[in-house]
Amino acid sequence: MPEVRDIQIPEPSARVASAADELQDMQGEKMVLNMGPSHPATHGVLRIVLELDGEIITKAAPDVGYLHRGDEKIAENMTYTQFIPYTDRLDYLAPLANNVAYALAVEKLMGIDKQLPPRCQFIRVICCELARISAHLLGMGAFALDIGAITVFLHTFTEREKLYNLFESLTGARFTTSYTRIGGLSRDLPPGWVEQCRKFLEEVVINFDETETFLTRNKIFTDRTQGVGVVSREDAIDFGLTGPNLRGSNVNFDMRRAHPYLVYDQLEFDVPYGTTGDAYDRYLVRIEEMRQSVRIVRQCLDKLPGGPVNVPDMKVILPPKERVLTKMEELIHHFINVTQGVNVPPGEIYFGAENPKGELGFYINSKGGGTPYRMKIRSPSFVNLSIMSHLLPGHMVSDITAILGSFDFVMGECDR
Amino acid sequence: MEFGASHAVTSGEIATQLKAQFGDLISGPVEFRGEVTVTLADAERIADVCAALKKNFGFDYLVDISSIDNYGEDPRWTIVYHFYGYGHHQHLRLKTSVSEEKSELPTVTMVWRTADWHEREIYDMMGIRFRGHPDLRRILMWEGYPYFPLRKDFPLAGKSSELPEVGFSRPSPMAGGPFVTIAGGKDTIAREPRVRIPETDALATTNRVERRADIKDAHGEGKGPGPIEPKK
């Protein structure tokens, strides 16, 4: 008589449960990886604490503040003009654009933003757009560098070098420009600058084409960026993204178009926006924005009017030095302007400008006098980074560099 | 009511309608330099008002939240919200006050997720708490920092605190070694490892190190650059 054996056939649901247990053992424990604050892909001092399941990110907690200098506190303790150099150090890849945004905010509070001479407004637009080209060139170069295309970085840096030469002859400094003043500019364009700028614009568009041949249809680049870091339109708005990161997610919005400041309403330009919201779209938006910036600067150089660059009010802008030394009234204005600062009326305003990284806003609360009572800097990089804990989970570790690169943030601005 | 792109509406009109919905809670609108500000009387209702602003009035983008310290006045805190609508392209500012004893108001993170970091920053800088916030920690200062630096009674020069600057840092493996720079030395030369004598370097961490002979010859005992305090 054959031996009888019991065979256990577990229920399907029990089988699934035990398989899941086995899988859990195979996957093992989750690992915590500390990325940054000194990591080349974090573009400065961003730290991200990652929880990993193998190579998949399950949790990401960005940790910011390593570059916090207390700019808002500092602003409460100095005159409006004295704060201009601090704005250089917000988004230090586009200091000229920060200078312009800050000056416009204070001028809005004083109610003189519509009285700026046309030449000043055109020069400011040129500054903003050159700063945008400079910031996007670096952002794009560093993005490509992070995901392995080193040539692009070297290539875009050649053009940035020319830009820095232009900035130097314009402002006297290559990096920390401090070019604007409340009610005007620190100086007019130097002789021959317009021609130099035109020459640069002719050269830089060739560079854009070459950069695109490196990247736009590069299989490695598209594989690493398409479908990676997808931000839906709803998420982009909900998380308050601005600038190219918002436009990459299919939102056709640009402060220069929706609320034109300076002379943007007199200039022709297109606002590029993406459709899928992935890293590749953000790259495409940036490269098109640079072409549009070239278009804007060309129009400004063509239309550039003559005349003064400062508002004709000695209570706002410093009088000419030779008159300060010979005339009593100018001496008094100079003295009051320097020691007490421009007299700003009590009130509160918010001004947001379309900067390379997004909407740089200044909320100024004044009780009158030469110093703000409270100044809040709404920095685009800070807000843009807040989406990371939502966006990164589900991606591979190697996608982080692509996502961070495509977001193009600056920690100087994020941490203030 | 809905505000679409085709609906040309001004923020002044929105403020009036908001007032109609919430009655005495909303005061204003005040217009200055083309910007409209409304004030909310009871900060406890902020979440309701914000939800209505997003749902009924088309403010889908929370631009910013900031806080003002009205030091010496009561109520001490003013919280300032900036809204924007991508549909109607209008800005609105809403202000509400919180007393110092309370220093707390409801969060709006469930209305806009971007509020998360803005509220953390306000808590970090001024010490105003947001009830219901999912993760109310310091954001710019380090964990465990004892002060709120943007308050008006906090000095510009800062205050020293017991805690190390970075809560999670430990000495690096080489710290105190003969070829490692000493942090916190009086000047760069005092921190420079080459001026120190390795044998006496046990004192390196307290910065009381003996000056190397050739440097002593060149600069004298107490003057000039180099390690400073005499050995006790």
CB-CB neighbors (< 8 A) of B139 in chain A: 64-65
Sign of CA dihedral A290, A295, A296, A302: positive
Quickly name the fold that domain A71-415 has: Cytochrome-c3 Hydrogenase; chain B (1.10.645)
Q: Is A52 helix (H, G, I), strand (E, B) or coil?
A: strand
pLDDT over threshold 90, residue B15: no
Contact A224, A246 (CB under 8 A): no
What is the predicted pLDDT for the residue at A365?
Answer: 92
Q: What are phi and psi of A186, to 5 degrees?
A: -70, -25
| Contact (Cβ atoms closer than 8 angstroms) between residue B171 and residue B199 | no
Structure tokens at B155: 């000095």
User: Is residue B95 within 8 Å of B80, Cβ to Cβ?
Assistant: yes
CA distance B32 to chain A (A): 8
Reference B84, options B12, B11, B34; nearest CA is B11
Of the candidates A251, A349, A350, the beta carbon closest to that of B86 is on: A251
Could you tell me which chain B residue has the CA closest to the CA of A74?
B156
Q: pLDDT band for B83, please (50, 70, 90 cuts).
A: very high
Band (pLDDT 50/70/90 cuts) for residue B23 is: confident
For residue B94, report the phi and psi dihedrals to the nearest 5 degrees: -125, 130
Residues of A in contact with B91 (CB under 8 A): 350
Instruction: Give the gap in angstroms from C-alpha A6 to the nearest C-alpha of chain B.
Output: 54
Banded pLDDT at B198 (limits 50, 70, 90): low
Cα B32 to its chain centre, rounded Å, is 27
Residue A330's alpha-carbon distances to A10, A185, A335, A340, B191, in angstroms, are: 96, 19, 8, 15, 50
Instruction: Tell me the C-alpha distance between B207 and B220, whole Å.
Output: 18
For residue B152, CA distances in Å to A112, A332, A375, B75, B125 come to 29, 32, 13, 14, 11
Long-range contact list for B145-152, CB < 8 A, 24+ apart? B148/B124, B149/A70, B149/A73, B149/B125, B150/A70, B150/A72, B150/A73, B150/B67, B150/B69, B150/B125, B150/B126, B151/B69, B151/B71, B151/B126, B151/B127, B152/B69, B152/B71
- pLDDT band at B216; cut points 50, 70, 90: low
Q: Does residue B77 come out as left (phi exceeding 0), alpha (psi in the -120 to 50 range) or beta?
A: beta
pLDDT in tens, chain A (416 residues): 667 777 776 676 777 677 666 666 555 677 888 887 777 777 778 888 888 888 888 889 898 888 888 899 889 888 899 899 999 998 888 999 999 999 999 999 998 888 899 999 999 999 999 999 999 999 889 899 888 888 898 989 888 999 999 999 999 888 889 999 998 898 889 998 999 999 999 999 998 998 888 888 888 889 889 888 899 999 999 999 999 999 999 899 998 988 888 899 899 999 999 898 899 999 999 999 999 999 999 999 999 998 888 888 888 888 888 888 888 888 988 888 888 888 899 999 999 999 999 999 999 999 888 889 999 999 999 999 999 999 998 888 888 888 988 988 888 888 88
Instruction: Quickly state the pLDDT bin for B58 (edges 50, 70, 90).
Output: confident
Cis peptide preceding B106, ω within 30 of 0: no
Choose among A349, A376, A383: nearest Cβ to B66: A376
In sequence order, which residues have a C-beta less than 8 Å from that of residue B209 and are 6 or more positions away? Answer: B182, B196, B197, B200, B201, B203, B227
Q: Which residues of A touch B (CB under 8 A)?
A: 64-65, 68, 70, 72-74, 77, 108-109, 111, 237-240, 251, 253, 258-259, 347-350, 352, 359, 361, 363, 365, 373-374, 376, 378, 382-383, 385-386, 390, 415-416
CB contact under 8 A, A237 and B80: no
What is the average pLDDT score of chain B? 76
Closest chain B residue by Cα to residue A66: B140
Complete edge-to-edge strand list for the sheet that includes strand A56-63: A31-35, A47-53, A56-63
Any CB–CB contact under 8 A between B125 and chain A? yes
**In which band, very low, low, confident or very high, does the pLDDT at B146 lie, cut at 50, 70 and 90?**
confident
The set of residues, in sequence order, having a beta carbon less than 8 Å from that of B26 and lying 6+ positions away, is B15, B18, B19, B38, B39, B40, B41, B49
Q: From the centroid of its chain, how far is CA A223?
A: 26
User: What is the CB neighbour count within 10 angstroms for residue B86?
Assistant: 17
Helices A279-303 and A118-146 cross at an angle (nearest 10°) of 150
A-chain residues near B63 (CB < 8 A) = 240, 350, 352, 359, 361, 378
Interface test with B, best of A47, A63, A239 (most B CBs within 10 A): A239
Three-class HEC string of chain B: CCCCCCCCCCHHHHHHHHHHHHHHHEEEEEEECCEEEEEECCHHHHHHHHHHHHHCCCCCEEEEEEEEECCCCCCCEEEEEEEECCCCCCEEEEEEEECCCCCEEECCCCCCCCHHHHHHHHHHHHCCEEECCCCCCCCCCCCCCCCCCCCCCCCCCCCCCCCCCCCCCCCCCCCCCCCCCCCCCCCHHHHCHHHECHHHHHHHHHCCCCECHHHHHHHCCCCCCCCCCCCC
The number of angstroms, rounded, from the C-alpha of A62 to the middle of its chain's C-alpha atoms is 18
Q: Can you tell me the distance from the alpha carbon of A302 to that of B19, in angstroms, rounded to the nearest whole number?
A: 49
The DSSP bridge pattern shows strands B91-98 and B77-84 to be: antiparallel
Between CA B105 and CA B134 the distance in angstroms is 14
Query: Closest approach of chain A CAs to the CA of B105, in angstroms?
Result: 20
Min Cα distance A156 → chain B (Å) is 32
Q: Which domains does chain B have, with CATH numbers?
A: 11-108 (3.30.460.80), 170-227 (no CATH)
Mean local confidence (pLDDT), B115-126:
92
Give the orientation angle of helix A193-215 with respect to helix A279-303, to 10 degrees: 160
Q: Do B32 and A251 touch (CB under 8 A)?
A: no
Report the residue of chain B nearest A111, measured CA to CA.
B33
Per the model's pLDDT, the better-predicted residue between B224 and A5 turns out to be A5
Minimum-distance CB partner of A253 among B62, B86, B142 = B86
Q: Which residue in A414, A397, A398 sits closest to A60, CA to CA?
A: A397
Q: Of the spans A10-14, B124-128, B187-191, B198-202, which averages the highest pLDDT?
A: B124-128
A68 closest CB neighbour out of B66, B93, B141: B141
List the beta strands (DSSP E) in A137-251. 180-181, 184-185
Amino acid at B204: A
Q: Which residue of A has its CA nearest to B168?
A: A34
Interface of B with A in 53-72 (CB under 8 A): 60-64, 66, 68-69
Cβ–Cβ contact B93 with A under 8 A: yes
ipTM of this model?
0.83
Please tell me if residue B41 touches chain A, with a CB cutoff of 8 Å.
Answer: no
